[in-house]
Structure 1
């Protein structure tokens, strides 16, 4: 059974499709920021997953294009609003929408982007429209819950590791699971396979977000696409910070930095990173990343198609947890 698309071929399809999405409606001031954020690029992991899941069962992956585009437009909508809430000034090395335009523009253009995501999703084959819309809507709601937890955690000093993992499951992992399951769904996959692919996405998403949080501290800002240390500066409760706060030798020093209203940014980043280094938290985080990666590939291994058709997904999962950018 062929053709089997490579990741490069899948990404070419995704990027071509995204370039074909141009919002020319008026007022231009509402839609120009949407075109802008979609033009910034990115890994395009989520739409690629939808197409790869479809390709497990079909030679022709056109049926999954609406899912891929809907998921990617939705993902970028969440980034637009997340950047505003986090007061981030860069996204993929470029000014964020609220910096380039205004806070109000980021809010309203984000709202319009959410609607456009649903319009893309609604292009799927009518046979699958109801289950696709249902899962997409549940996922969208879960992502909002994850973002709310993330914001609430910034004000709490007693966040636990299980709470953190549930937050990133909702904020990040469910959209990967959704993309995979819906890609398989429109290809007519069996229910058991769809569940396994969803679970593959959940575990891969947990590993991916843990890695992202790790790179926010230890990544190269020139290749990471945004400044490192942002999570430290806004006291975001990541796996690293939650573990550090639980250590009695580090708690007081961390509290002093967290409570400071005025500080030198580079000094704070260096001081908190030094605590993480002393406690060996980078290695501890990498161990958990590997654990979720192992769970993800175990789920993928059980999907009832030949191993050669799953090679691209196996390789992508490995690349995501080994990336340094």
Structure 2
């Protein structure tokens, strides 16, 4: 079964033009919440009403998101023929030897190796290590290109902020990634975040793609990404493509629930095959891409023992609702 918090249709509604996440219940409440702030930012009354109308449209769309995702998934399952079926079943041969050694050390409770991979910043915990080998990455990217150009298939957006990418559930790779999460990522999470995160028993996997010319797939290629935090307890972000790429760096700030003012703490560039592991609530953004194309595979790891207590989106006890398709990791 799949579950979400009821807040998904009302909170964290992102309007890219304004670079801001809004909450929206109705027009009157919107004016109460935001009119003064928007007037101070020199928006006219007409512009404020326009923002309210856009949020209402977005809210209505989010309410239909689950049913549309279910219908889309059924259509893809019935129509899509994979290019290379071998990558849909997990094989340890997909992984770098160094990653397998890292996992084994974490299973023994040994912190030395993973600690050596921590970015040298005492304020936030960000780890970098290699995961997939070149052969798997090549097969993976060919499969991504294959489904992206597949006749008659319309793909869902990877998340509420990125336009271009492929959901691993729609591609059919969720089963393979479940093995990766359970047997390889969980031992690392237990060692580095075990004091705050329990078992991550679900995930949301997707690719994101950044293109300088803005012509990826549908002409709305992502060039950058605003400040945000992830709907996840732990995030794994693996670079799978970086063709002639300049810019598009990942910048980390403070924790979403921190009272400290936001400031930049870490700047990371991307290297194909290398993953970045961090807590989902660590705020971050992506700088503008200045040249080339970059594709990353992102896994949002969810722990119901954490999010069942406090929803990471509304920061309240979640109102858990059953869904047909879209699962945010809550469990009744």
TM range (shorter): under 0.3
Structure (1/2) with the larger helix percentage: 1
| TM-score, normalised by the number of residues in structure 2 | 0.26
| TM-score, normalised by the number of residues in structure 1 | 0.26
